């Protein structure tokens, strides 16, 4: 494992990105994030790589230009530095620099495998490639540098062939130990001619036979004086060169936008490693595909991170909603939580492959919506419940008032409850969702309708019960009075009482009919039922007055009145000469005649003389209802009455005897 060199600022730490075993370091993201502080840089950073033969002063130059601390071969030991690719960050600048070591395999007779692979890797990631060479290497067409450039061109075609003109790379030639005898213009012309020759000699992929070198590369040439022989000029020229890396307003600024490989800093580790994996396993390296894969991977990561916070924020809703409470301001709260998640996703993910990002953005929205939907649905249910209970209490409250009309009251309560529901529902329906509440609204209206109907039924039957009580009360005394005084007009009085009572009840019913919005037919049925019910109550009262002892008592009273009182109503005192037998027989027979009168209600209207009748139903037989005493009971009453009157007769006789004895 490579340990980064300690440095006061820490920003210059360098990483052995790809080691001599061709292993890719697992620490790149840590370095980007913590040591170089580039995590949030997005596209606002640059990448460059340096190429060239061993010991041409590459590392020395990089350290001078960027303040890095790459290993420099010491003058004394002349030991080769570790092979591989080193990466570090420029001091006070957002530039990542890759020092590619050991690219001169051909000079040392090694295979060119690493050279080819590192060229591929550098081209796929860097905007600028510094080609470092001695002045005396210029023009050596068969030298190591030209071999290296041939490799670079070849792999570039492999990488960007079909992508012509889209992502160019800048090749910056730095000619070292420039003595000055040959001007830069000549040197660059020589190099350009050689580059053209190399390009011509390349075997190009099908369809790209005529492609131009400038379709893929821009070239730039510069010289540096001999570091040891002209140290001051060397430093001056390095300082000038440095400006080209840090000053965007410099006409020769190297990091032009068209060179960018469009990899956000926070995705660099994923992208670079994926690229390297493809390269080492000799797989086809299709950059657009790599960028899409990177985008998918990173968008997912970013989305997952956003959802961690999201899930945390929505946790508070679950309990209250499931326990039937209405969460206040649920709509704005959900909107806020969703916005935060989407914004945090957009912030980091929008830099990635546009189409992938667009797709993932939609996915994130859909996922957020579906996670929020259960709260929407839950709150709707609770709104529904609350609306029903609000409706119920408003209805009950309003019906307590005198003259409250059920229809109007329930319509108002229904409007209020529906408005409450709709307002609550609209407030939690988020934009960019397919959430709906029409179904729930329909269901609510249905429920309110049903509830109102049941309530009306209840109120109606309460009212009818009240009426029946009234009827019963109105019938009671007059009937008792009528039956206490049996005689020919008795039933007539009963029927008259019934008529009076019923017309009072019906008048009340008519009044209530408006309240309950009774239909013509319904009202008629209710009236019929009420008349029947009134009649039943009447017969019940009659029965009550005709129970065994009571009726016998009434009859005996009648008998006593006739037998024991004279015409003026005064009590009789029997004298020895009085005829007891005749008055006794008269009183007894008249009383006995009352039994058949009692036995059956005579349903005749005394004022009109018309027969009175009610329609019979399954459980009401009018004729049957007229019968008060059965034959048997009449017999029994007759016998009992006779026995009692006989006793009175004996008593009367005895009273005469006793007065005689005195
Ligand atoms: P690298 O292998 O290309 O990275 O080369 P180094 O930076 O390690 O340098 C190799 C040797 O060349 C060191 O001894 C440096 O002191 C020396 N050196 C560095 N820059 C120059 C230069 O501009 N001219 C000459 N002649 N030597 C240099
Ligand atoms: Mg070096």
Hey, where are the domains in the chain?
15-281, 292-436, 452-545, 546-662
Q: Could you tell me the distance, in angstroms and rounded to a whole number, from the CA of residue 75 to the centre of ligand 1?
A: 8
**Rounded to the nearest whole angstrom, what is the distance from the C-alpha of residue 4 to the centroid of ligand 2?**
17
Separation CA 513–CA 405 (nearest Å): 10
DSSP lists the bridge partners of residue 221 as: 173
99, β-bridge pairs: 50, 86
**pLDDT for 189:** 96
What own/partner pairs with CB < 8 Å and gap ≥ 24 does 570-573 have?
573/655
Confidence of residue 106 (pLDDT cuts 50, 70, 90): low
Which atom of ligand 1 lies at the shortest distance from residue 75's CA?
Answer: 14
pLDDT in tens, 295-314: 999 999 999 999 999 999 99
118 is in an annotated binding site: no
For 482-495, b/e burial (b = at least 16 CB within 10 A) is bbeebeeebbbbbb
- Indicate whether residue 72 lines ligand 1 (CB < 6 A): yes
pLDDT in tens, 582-605: 999 999 999 999 999 999 999 988
Angle between helices 490-515 and 438-484 (to 10 degrees): 160
pLDDT category at 571 given cuts 50, 70, 90 is confident
pLDDT band at 10 (very low <50, low <70, confident <90, very high): very low
Q: What ipTM was assigned to the predicted interfaces of this complex?
A: 0.99
Residue 163: per-residue pLDDT: 64
pLDDT of amino acid 154: 86
pTM over 0.90: no
pLDDT surpassing 80 at residue 521:
yes
Going from the C-alpha of 489 to that of each of 264, 482, 496, the distances in angstroms are 113, 8, 11
77 lines ligand 1 (CB under 6 A): no
Tens digit of each residue's pLDDT (9 = 90 or more) over 30-87 = 999 999 999 999 999 999 999 888 888 999 999 999 999 998 877 665 566 668 899 9
Of 329-343, 464-478, 506-520, the least confident: 506-520
Q: 3-state class of 300 per DSSP?
A: helix
What integer pLDDT is reported at residue 549 of this predicted model?
Answer: 87
Query: Is residue 73 in contact with ligand 1, taking CB distance under 6 Å?
Result: yes
**Whether pLDDT at 230 is above 90:** yes
Structure confidence at residue 164 (pLDDT): 54
- The 10s digit of each residue's pLDDT in 141-188 is 767 778 888 888 888 887 777 665 567 899 999 999 999 899 999 999
Rounded Cα–Cα distance for residues 130 and 300 (Å): 35
Domain boundaries 15-281, corresponding CATH code: 3.40.50.300
Indicate the pLDDT class of residue 399, thresholds 50, 70 and 90. confident
pLDDT at 115: 83
Nearest CA to ligand 1 atom 14: 75
Q: What percent of the chain has pLDDT over 70?
A: 94
pLDDT digits (tens, 9 = 90+) for 188-208: 999 999 999 999 999 888 888
Instruction: Note the pLDDT of residue 140.
Output: 81
Q: Quick one: pLDDT at residue 275?
A: 92
Give the pLDDT of residue 204.
87
Given a cut of 90, whether residue 367 has pLDDT beyond it is: yes
Res. 327: pLDDT tops 50: yes
Least confident of 112-121, 229-238, 627-636: 112-121
Whether residue 415 is predicted with pLDDT greater than 80 in this model: the reply is yes
* 47 SS3 class: strand
What's the gap in Å between 238 CA and the centre of ligand 2? 17
Check pLDDT > 50 for residue 3. Answer: no
Q: Provide mean pLDDT across the span 335-346.
A: 97
Please give the backbone phi and psi of residue 577, each rounded to the nearest 5 degrees, phi first.
-85, -10
Rounded Cα gap, residues 78 and 316, in angstroms: 67
Sign of the Cα torsion 193, 196, 200, 203 reads: positive
**Alpha carbon distance 463, 465 (integer Å):** 5
**Mean pLDDT to the nearest integer, 350-372:** 96
Select the more confidently predicted residue: 343 or 522. 343
Handedness of CA 342, 348, 350, 356 (dihedral sign): negative
Residue with CA at minimum distance from ligand 1 atom 12: 57
Query: What pLDDT score does 9 carry?
Result: 44
* Mean confidence (pLDDT) of the chain: 90
Quick one: pLDDT at residue 443?
97
Structure tokens at 458: 């209840």
Q: Which residue's alpha carbon is at the smallest distance from atom 20 of ligand 1? A: 57
């Amino acid at each position: 494992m490579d340990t980064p060199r300690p440095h006061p600022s820490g920003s210059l730490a360098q990483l052995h990105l790809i080691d001599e075993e061709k292993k890719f370091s697992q620490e790149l993201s840590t370095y980007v994030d913590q040591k170089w502080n580039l995590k949030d840089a997005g596209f606002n950073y640059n990448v460059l790589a340096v190429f060239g033969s061993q010991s041409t002063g590459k590392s020395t130059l990089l350290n001078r230009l960027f303040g890095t601390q790459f290993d420099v071969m010491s003058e004394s030991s002349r030991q080769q530095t570790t092979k591989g690719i080193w990466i570090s960050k420029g001091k006070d600048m957002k530039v990542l620099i890759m020092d590619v070591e050991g690219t001169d395999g051909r000079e040392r007779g090694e295979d060119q495998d690493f050279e080819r692979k590192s060229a591929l890797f550098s081209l796929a990631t860097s905007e600028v490639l510094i080609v470092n060479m001695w002045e005396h290497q210029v023009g050596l067409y068969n030298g190591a540098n030209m071999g290296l450039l041939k490799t670079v061109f070849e792999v570039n075609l492999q990488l960007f062939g079909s992508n012509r003109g889209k992502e160019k790379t800048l090749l910056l030639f730095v000619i070292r130990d420039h003595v000055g005898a040959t001007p830069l213009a000549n040197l660059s012309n020589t190099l350009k001619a050689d580059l053209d020759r190399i390009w011509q000699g390349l075997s190009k992929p099908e369809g790209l036979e005529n492609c131009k070198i400038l379709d893929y590369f821009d070239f730039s040439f510069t010289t540096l004086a001999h570091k040891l022989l002209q140290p001051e000029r060397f430093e001056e020229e390095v300082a000038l060169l440095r400006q080209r890396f840090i000053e965007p307003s410099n006409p020769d600024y190297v990091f032009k936008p068209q060179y960018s490989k469009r990899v956000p800093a926070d995705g660099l580790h994923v992208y670079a490693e994926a690229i390297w994996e493809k390269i080492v396993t000799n797989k086809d390296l299709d950059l657009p595909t790599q960028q899409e894969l990177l985008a998918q991977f990173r968008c997912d990561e970013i989305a997952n991170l956003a959802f961690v916070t999201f899930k945390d924020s929505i946790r508070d809703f679950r309990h209250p909603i499931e326990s039937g409470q209405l969460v206040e301001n649920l709509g704005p709260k959900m909107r806020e939580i969703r916005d935060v998640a989407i914004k945090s996703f957009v912030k980091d993910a929008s830099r990635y492959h546009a189409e992938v990002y667009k797709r993932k953005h939609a996915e994130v929205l859909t996922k957020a919506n579906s996670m929020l939907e259960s709260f929407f649905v839950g709150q709707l249910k609770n709104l529904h419940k609350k609306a029903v209970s609000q409706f119920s209490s408003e209805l009950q409250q309003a019906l307590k008032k005198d003259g409250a009309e059920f229809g109007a009251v329930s319509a108002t309560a229904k409007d209020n409850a529906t408005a409450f529901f709709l307002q609550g529902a609209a407030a939690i329906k988020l934009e960019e969702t397919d959430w709906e509440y029409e179904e729930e609204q329909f269901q609510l209206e249905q429920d309110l309708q049903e509830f109102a109907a049941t309530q009306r039924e209840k109120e109606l039957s309460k009212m009818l019960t009240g009426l029946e009580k009234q009827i019963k009360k109105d019938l009671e005394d007059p009937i008792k009075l009528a039956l206490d005084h049996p005689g020919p007009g008795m039933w007539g009085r009963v029927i008259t009482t019934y008529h009076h009572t019923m017309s009072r009840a019906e008048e009340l019913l008519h009044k209530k009919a408006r309240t309950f919005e009774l239909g013509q037919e319904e009202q008629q049925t209710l009236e019929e039922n009420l008349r029947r019910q009134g009649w039943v109550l009447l017969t019940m009262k009659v029965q009550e007055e005709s129970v065994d002892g009571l009726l016998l008592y009434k009859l005996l009273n009648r008998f006593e009145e006739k037998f024991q009182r004279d015409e003026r109503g005064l009590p009789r005192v029997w004298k020895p000469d009085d005829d007891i037998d005749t008055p006794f027989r008269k009183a007894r027979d008249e009383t006995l005649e009352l039994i058949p009168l009692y036995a059956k209600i005579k349903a005749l209207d005394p004022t009109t003389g018309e027969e009175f009748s009610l329609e019979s139903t399954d459980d009401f037989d009018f004729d049957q209802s007229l019968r008060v005493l059965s034959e048997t009971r009449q017999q029994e009453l007759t016998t009992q009455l006779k026995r009692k009157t006989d006793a009175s007769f004996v008593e009367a006789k005895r009273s005469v005897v006793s007065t005689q004895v005195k």
